[in-house]
Structure 1
């Protein structure tokens, strides 16, 4: 398979090519900082924390045969390029450019355009939603013939309709209604509450949903996590394939990591505290372009 052909049909297929967050130049000018979620109100991470964590993450991916790309520096008005998951999504053999809610994130996608332009796929291979369609990649999970779309603080009904219009013939597009701050929860994106792992397991934060879709109940053995574990993003792992994940080396993730091991999944634990302080962990910090 060509490394330059867009491909993602399952969350746990072997990862071959990925964009990860840019840790250099993070928050280099305080004048442009926009607080975009509740976690960031507690304080932003120090660049000295980010550098070794992202370097170790990149090295681990490369040791497992993954081609790793890093976004180009966009400019002073974008202070945070740590979580590229949200700015786009590979679905099948197409790439969807997402419409971001927060002003400071709307230009991030320009940092990955050089990579996207070299990728081949089904024409039109790049889809751009119209204005008013809110869509972020953390709310989109492609797996087992489904596209699960979180209707959340960051993705609206129009975003769901857009995906159904363009992918409804090839996938079952499923709306998943996430609970927000107004519901007493803080599920920013779907992947903070649901994430497939292994052959047929999934990490799940049940209280993060207004109602759990039948498609999740029927297709996965669920590993439930607590609100305290969810707060530390225990769901937000990245699958290297259907036998291996990368997860946080953190006391509030240890029980979930062991549950995955009990299910026959190898768990690579890495220290990762900087990015989670901004609201995203390993899945948020990766944008897969090619999965076998």
Structure 2
């Protein structure tokens, strides 16, 4: 039996699900793109090829194994994108929450059923149908649960809006003892540089008291200010619009002092090292073309 336990983003990682890039399927058609960044690369003929993505994920897997992390991988589904496991489920405390994802991604959940079968069934929940919530929008910080959402009246028109107000309420009801704080995010269907697909595209804590943040990812200045007040401006690394596009805030912590990062994030990686972090740099720029990076391709199950 897996005793799942996740209360923040940075405690020592013991067990994780890492996505899969094998048999990723053909380059999607323009009309099938889920996000503006993928669309951009489909149109430009620069959409990532499977062999490159498999290599990048294998590099990530090797880093996780180097630190003694138990790594589960989804069961292979032929010609199917299984990279971004963060979308399909997430753990808060000792509860595994299955996401209500876009219907044609349902198979991704089936592919990790063998993992969920090792968890106490009373601790696995699936929200009702009207609740939309994805793991990338849920960022844990000890007593806090931060949730990215989109409050625009045109929510249903945005395939890039993944968590609704019902999703926020569902988490509030499920975890009455936690402080649940929602953040209204900027969305765009056409410009990836102005689309905070999930909360972890514009904010993520690192270490014990630091964070990476993109101010213009928040529709409300007050939401940004809340994080500045909580963490302190000196503890926040502010990314630029281009760095947000490259997914600088989507790194992944193995421990409070160990961060896995894309090797081309020069400015961020130098800041992390200057603040005492050990930075495991790996190539992940091909996977980033699908508007997801290191955090998106992991589903942590146990942190100490």
Scaled by the length of structure 1, what TM-score is found? Answer: 0.91
Aligned-partner SS, 2:285: coil
Residue number among 247, 255, 272 corresponding to 1:241 in the alignment: 255
C-alpha distance in 2, partners of 1:98/1:289?
A: 15
Task: Name which of 158, 161, 165 aligns with 2:166.
Answer: 158
Corresponding residue for residue 115 of structure 1: 115
* 1:105, distance to aligned residue in structure 2 (A): 1.8
SS in 2 for 1:180: coil
Q: Distance in 2 between matches of 1:34 and 1:20?
A: 24
| Greater percentage in helix | 2
Hey, what's the Cα distance between the residues in 2 that align with 1:5 and 1:96?
14
1-structure distance, mates of 2:181, 2:266: 31
Aligned to 1:67: 70
- Structure 2 residue aligned with 1:6: 4
Q: Name whichever of 107-116 and 195-204 sits farther off.
A: 107-116
Q: Distance in 2 between matches of 1:177 and 1:71?
A: 31
Is 1:289 aligned to 2:297, yes or no?
no
Residues 1:262 and 2:274 aligned together? yes
Give the structure 2 partner of residue 190 of structure 1.
199
* Offset, 1:240: 0.4
Distance in 1 (alpha carbons) for counterparts of 2:144 and 2:227: 10
After superposition, what is the alpha-carbon deviation per residue over 1:201-233, rounded to whole angstroms, capped at 9, x for unaligned? 000001100222565223322111100101000
Asked if 1:232 corresponds to 2:246, the answer is yes
Shift of 1:113: 1.1
1:39-188 alignment, distance < 5 Å: 39-41=37-39, 42-43=41-42, 44-76=47-79, 79-100=80-101, 102-120=102-120, 124-152=122-150, 153-169=161-177, 171-181=178-188, 185-188=194-197
The question of 1:218 aligning with 2:229 is answered: yes
* In structure 1, C-alpha distance between the alignment counterparts of 2:125 and 2:97, rounded to whole Å: 5
RMSD across aligned C-alpha pairs, in angstroms? 2.1
Shift of 1:281: 0.5
| Partner Cα distance (1:233, 1:29) in 2 | 21
Structure 1 residue ranges without an equivalent (≥5): none
Partner of 2:290: 278
Cα distance in 2 for partners of 1:183, 1:141 equals 25
* Corresponding residue SS for 1:150: strand
Deviation at 1:13, TM superposition (A): 0.6
Counterpart-to-counterpart distance in 2, 1:109 and 1:74: 11
Residues 182 and 57 from structure 1, CA distance in 2 versus in 1: closer, same or farther, beyond 3 angstroms? Answer: closer
Quick one: distance in 2 between partners of 1:242 and 1:183?
36
The number of aligned residues is 282
Q: 1:115 to 1:209 in 2, by over 3 A?
A: same
